[in-house]
Amino acid sequence: MSFMRIPMLVIAVVMLWAAAQASDVFDIVFKPRYGGEVVFSHDIHTSNPKIADNCPTCHEKTYKTKSKKPVTMAQMEKGKSCGACHGRIAFPLAACGRCHGIRTITFDVPYVGNVNFLHKPHTDKFPCGECHNKLFFPGRNPHATMAEMEKGKSCGACHRGKKAFALRDCSRCHLAGNLLMKCVNAGPVTFSHGYHTKLYRCTDCHQKIFPLDYSTPRVSMHEMESGKSCGACHDDYTAFTIRENCVRCHDM
């Protein structure tokens, strides 16, 4: 069969199918400097009844095809870019987690263990605007000490024992692991934070008995018997005595 004998209707259908395939568009990934990636799905938007595959609804009115100039959230709130619809005919811009991919942030904290901040447990209870930009700016923030937090700064704005658990519940945030203490003429001692924090509060030892810099001078067994260091508790009253079965602490 020659090409001229193929029904024109079939040719038209094939051409329409080819055009439809050629017009397929992919997801676009925006990488803001702060705030987490935004994956824009053309399929979700074009399938919306208000758009119904009518691409000119957004192009070239709201988006220039070749434009790569970033748009700030402040500009969106004034109706530019995504803000042309979001907050007007679609969910508001304040629903940040519906667009921005949020991640766990690790804060490196010397001596007391790093803190892994999980966004999800917080965003499940509070809108993003509760913290940003009232308490935290997107990106790197100035370091806040525990003393400053106790006065209401940073995490201390909520973690005061009423709105959220208190700062003194240190192990709920700080990942304090085991400490290996090397000893002269005896095996090393592995101190387990996990075991001790099940029995006592962090403040029972810090800073009363142990400074947080872990550079405490070596303490002899004789000094411990006088109540220093581990001997403050291991006195046969609060906890087993340091004289009792050395291998309970020393790795022989």
Where exactly are the structural domains of the chain? 3-98, 105-172, 179-248
Say what the pLDDT of residue 14 is. Answer: 43
To the question of domain 179-248 being in CATH 3.90.10.10, the answer is yes
Please count the helices (runs of H) and the strands (runs of E) in the chain.
Answer: 7, 6
Half-sphere exposure of 184 (CA within 13 A, CB side): 5
Amino acid at 247: V
Q: What is the mean pLDDT of residues 4-15?
A: 47
Q: What is the enclosing helix (H) or strand (E) of 117?
A: strand 115-117
**Where is pLDDT greater, at 216 or 42?**
42
Q: What is the structure's pLDDT at 24?
A: 60
**Residue 157 identity:** A
Q: What is the structure's pLDDT at 99?
A: 93
Pairing of strands 38-40, 28-30: antiparallel
- CA 182/CA 166 separation, integer angstroms: 34
pTM of the predicted model, to two decimals?
A: 0.65
What's the rounded Cα separation, in Å, for the pair 237 and 232? 10
Tokens of 99: 């667009």
DSSP string, 195-222: HHHTTS-GGGTTTTTS-TTS-PPP--HH
Q: Is the pLDDT confidence value at 102 over 90?
A: no
CATH topology of domain 3-98: Cytochrome C3 (3.90.10)
Q: Tell me the per-residue pLDDT of 136-157, one tens digit each, with 9 for 90 and over.
A: 988 788 889 889 999 999 999 9
CATH architecture for the domain at 105-172:
Alpha-Beta Complex (3.90)
Domains 105-172 and 179-248 share a fold: yes
Find residue 86's DSSP bridge partners.
90
